[in-house]
Amino acid sequence: MGEHRVPRQRDLEPSACVALVLDAQALFMAPDGPFRNEQAEPVVAALNLFLRGCRELDVPVVFSNYVFRADLGDAGLLRDLTTVAAGHWSERSPWIRVDPRIERAATDIDVRHNRPSGFFGSDLESVLSSLGASTILLVGLSVNNAISATARDAFARDIPAIVVKDCVGAAAFEPAEQLETYFAILGYRTAEVATGAEVLARLRATP
């Protein structure tokens, strides 16, 4: 079975990596937000620790938010979802901003997408190219949606991806008990799965 798994990236060069933070928005993470997510605090803490380590190593941090136009003309099949129709996913909504519990830096880069994959309706590819990135470190929400969709799109583009398992989580409307199943599926052919400590250790070990 081992030959069917994505090979482990033995070396991680900080200058060739990007930490891609997906959908870490108040919309999906805030306990008082539209989805009442009361299980995101451990992810927030782990994410802050991981991103601090990335910035110390000069690994660029890119935040990609799930956002629709104000007229919802790009909402597609989600247009009739209650929270979408109410305007919470709109570019005018305060909920689409990054959760305020997550630490930001002036060097962070912001992009937006309008489907689960960070590559869809986005300039992410051009951003990665401009940064010279050949590996993406996937963090944020949610494993079953944005993380999985982006990992598969990265694989289709021959971009190695690592899902940082302690820095990702389920959305409030998803079964958190399925996370290990999602990790196993992603690790089968699509992406590597590793902890934040493991990834940072490998980044620091690069001469």
Please answer whether residues 59 and 17 qualify as being in contact, where contact means their C-beta atoms are separated by less than 8 angstroms.
Answer: yes
Write out pLDDT tens, residues 8-54.
555 799 999 999 999 999 999 999 999 999 999 999 999 999 999 99
* Spatial separation of the C-alpha atoms in residues 27 and 83, rounded to whole Å: 9
Bridge partners, 168 (sequence order): 140
Structural domain that includes position 178:
2-205
pLDDT above 70 as % of the chain: 95
How many domains would you assign to the chain? Answer: 1
- Are residues 102 and 40 in contact, defined by beta-carbon separation less than 8 angstroms? no
CATH assignment of the domain containing 69 = 3.40.50.850
Please tell me the predicted confidence (pLDDT) of residue 11.
Answer: 79
* DSSP H helical ranges for the chain: 26-29, 41-56, 82-85, 124-131, 148-156, 179-189, 196-205
Residue 78 zone, left/alpha/beta (φ > 0; ψ -120 to 50; rest): alpha
Strand pairing partners for 55?
none
pTM of the predicted protein model? 0.94
- Residue 196 pLDDT greater than 70, yes or no: yes
